[in-house]
Structure 1
Amino acid sequence: MQVNVQSQDVNLNSISKSSLNKSYKPIYLLTILVSISMILFLILGVNKENISYAMSQRVPKLVAIALTAGTIAFSTVVFQTITNNRILTPSVLGLDSLYELIQTVIFFTLGASSLLITNKKLNFIICVGFMVLSSFALYKVLFKSKGANILFLLLVGMIFGTLFSSLSSFMQMIIDPNEFLVLQNKLFASFNNVNVDILLIAILMILIVIPFIYDDIKYLDVISLGRDHAINLGINYDKVVKKFLVVISIFLSISTALVGPVTFLGLLVVNITRQVMKTYKHNILICTSVLVSLFTLVSGQLLIERIIKLNTPVSVVINLIGGVYFMYLLLKESKI
């Protein structure tokens, strides 16, 4: 009997190890694809004469792509787990619309030649600071009452997002046409002419935030079961959710202020990840989502900028594909 028990334990261990190896196979493949796309992005079209100039432009751009891909993918995975909904993204909190309103107000009141526009570092700090403070104020007001929940937060976020978009559209209609053309460049996500100083600030902010949330990632596996189950299993649900919402707001603010809004990137890459990775473990889901997001942005930027040679921002193409995919998800859910 003892031999049989030991043999069963060995079989269970071998099965768990084999299933774990299967889970990591797509991650290994994605890592190889991301590495190849990054190398091609850096070396394609480079020769001895322009290597120093090309690297000074491409390396900061690649770092900005990596930061954007990582923050958006992480925020979307966590947000969908908290809301228990796979067609929602953190953009429903209204931060994208708030960024658009901030930029429009600056252009409308101070003009395109203002220091808040020409100084990218100052513009970045103001946008991130205002978006994060607004999120903190919203969370503090909503979660102060005992009856508030995540659905009420989403409703308020959507209302404020619509309000911010309406105000931005109104000011854009009466703004000077020349300044409106400059404003449009700020409202489309672009990785061109990335400021190294802004990258350093963004990296520093992310490095400060990561230890704040690292130990709580394991709780996401339980939170995905729902609020009641998470509480019954000993999770301080409200505290953990508030902490994650704060981090989501910071990450989304950084990515939006760094390159501009990329509305459907998170929806696209996270749902693709959930289709490929049939697992509940969030360390695997987050890692895979970041790699898919990184591959999507790097390969998309490489295709548009180096191969097809278009001036269209990659965010426009991603939002087009993501919008179509979003409609597909809505139709799929309505049939169930």
Structure 2
Amino acid sequence: MLWVLAGLLAVACTVWMFQGLGDTRRGFLLGLRGTRLAGLLILGTATGVATVLFQTIAANRILTPSMMGFDSLFGLVQVALVAAVGAGGLSTLDGVARFWLALGAMLVLALLLFAPLLGRGGRDVPRMILTGLILGVLFRSLAGFMTRVMDPNAFAVVQGLSAASLTRIDPAVLPWAGAITASSGIAALVLAPQLDVLALGRSSAVSLGLRVRAMTLGGLALVALMTAAGTAMAGSVAAGSPIGGSAAFFGLIAAGLARGLTGSVRHAALVPGAALSAALVMVIGQVVFERVLGLAGTLSVVIEFVGGLFFLYLLLKGRLR
């Protein structure tokens, strides 16, 4: 099934690159589409793999990094950076420097905030969801307060940095984001046997000799790294809902597709399956809404609708882990 997903993704990418390509300005259009396609693949891969890892660490299948406030944390980091260095100071930095600043800040804060939560209350699913919602509201409230005391120029900079956009990705950032996402995905594949043991439960993992706390921190570091790389590259894809909007449900869809299509519980199949499924959904969705519907709709609305139904299905069926 992984080869089928890879073939479908290759076809979708080919359609994206060459469909509707006229006889004029081919080089310019191919370069523009190539940058956006790379952004779609990186963002989809990072979201899908991070969601699978996060669900394994949290020991349930309904949580995603966005539900736990990662996207709201990104917005707070952007506001804090502008407040710290000023709009003028931030504009003097190139895209790569801003990328590393945002990524480093998100990585440190995510580990400090979420590692204790997963370590102490990882088995209490309702408390984890409630804590994630509260953290998301807290981050958004702090970001909102800081923007209200900013001058209008700084506020405009914050708005531009926080909104997700695949049309303004800096090509110089793509190699860094791609390298981080690829290396994190490879690390997840290397750790696949340990992740399989961790998925058996804390008591079983301890009895089998797994260092659960070290594995939890390592997995969370990979989740934070991939989430930070994707959001620092293209912005937050959350649509503003209390649990993370389309970003939350997109990760849920990718993880669900990976489990359903691969028919396996082993992370050696789930990790590449989630990466391919998420990238395929991103590319096909953009092709349909840009080339077929002529931008007459919004992809996030469909993601929220389908993902919300899948979320309710998991709750009603009691498929919590």
Amino acid at match of 2:44: A
Name which of structure 1's ranges 131-140 and 239-248 shifts more when overlaid on structure 2. 131-140
Higher CA-based Rg: 1
Q: Which residue of 1 aligns with 2:166?
A: 191
Q: Which residue of 2 aligns with 1:43?
A: 18
Task: Give the direction of change, closer, same or farther, for the CA distance of 1:196–1:331 in structure 2 (3 Å limit).
Answer: same
Q: Which residue of 1 aligns with 2:231?
A: 256
Q: Which residue of 1 aligns with 2:120?
A: 148
Note if contact 1:187-1:260 (Cα within 8 Å) is conserved in structure 2: yes
Q: Which residue of 1 aligns with 2:290?
A: 305
Match for 1:283 among 260, 268, 271?
268
Q: Which residue of 1 aligns with 2:255?
A: 270
Unaligned runs of 5+ residues in structure 2 are 238-246
Q: Distance in 1 between matches of 2:207 and 2:115?
A: 25
Q: Which residue of 2 aligns with 1:296?
A: 281
Q: Which residue of 1 aligns with 2:243?
A: none
Q: Which residue of 1 aligns with 2:307?
A: 322
Q: Distance in 1 between matches of 2:308 and 2:97?
A: 32
Does the alignment pair 1:61 with 2:46? no
1:1-336 equivalence runs, <5 A: 26-106=1-81, 115-116=90-91, 119-138=94-113, 148-151=120-123, 154=128, 157-171=132-146, 183-209=158-184, 212-262=187-237, 263=247, 264-310=249-295, 314-333=299-318
Note if contact 1:132-1:253 (Cα within 8 Å) is conserved in structure 2: yes
Q: Distance in 2 between matches of 1:299 and 1:186?
A: 26
- The percent of aligned pairs where both chains have the same amino acid is 30
Name which of structure 1's ranges 95-104 and 201-210 shifts more when overlaid on structure 2. 201-210
Q: Distance in 2 between matches of 1:312 and 1:102?
A: 30
Q: CA deviation at 1:311?
A: 7.2
Task: Give the direction of change, closer, same or farther, for the CA distance of 1:317–1:291 in structure 2 (3 Å limit).
Answer: same
Name which of structure 1's ranges 255-264 and 172-181 shifts more when overlaid on structure 2. 172-181
| DSSP 3-state at the match of 2:60 | coil
Note if contact 1:190-1:315 (Cα within 8 Å) is conserved in structure 2: no
Note if contact 2:115-2:217 (Cα within 8 Å) is conserved in structure 1: no
TM-score by length of 1: 0.78
Q: Distance in 1 between matches of 2:30 and 2:203?
A: 52
Q: Distance in 2 between matches of 1:215 and 1:332?
A: 32
Q: CA deviation at 1:141?
A: 6.2
Task: Give the direction of change, closer, same or farther, for the CA distance of 1:208–1:33 in structure 2 (3 Å limit).
Answer: closer
Q: CA deviation at 1:214?
A: 4.2
Q: Which residue of 1 aligns with 2:241?
A: none
Task: Give the direction of change, closer, same or farther, for the CA distance of 1:325–1:183 in structure 2 (3 Å limit).
Answer: farther
TM-score by length of 2: 0.82
Amino acid at match of 2:293: I
Q: Distance in 2 between matches of 1:44 and 1:53?
A: 15
Note if contact 1:190-1:313 (Cα within 8 Å) is conserved in structure 2: no
Q: CA deviation at 1:180?
A: 5.9
Note if contact 1:34-1:291 (Cα within 8 Å) is conserved in structure 2: yes
Residues matched between the structures, number? 306
Name which of structure 1's ranges 130-139 and 110-119 shifts more when overlaid on structure 2. 110-119
Q: CA deviation at 1:160?
A: 2.7
Q: CA deviation at 1:193?
A: 2.7
Note if contact 1:69-1:293 (Cα within 8 Å) is conserved in structure 2: yes
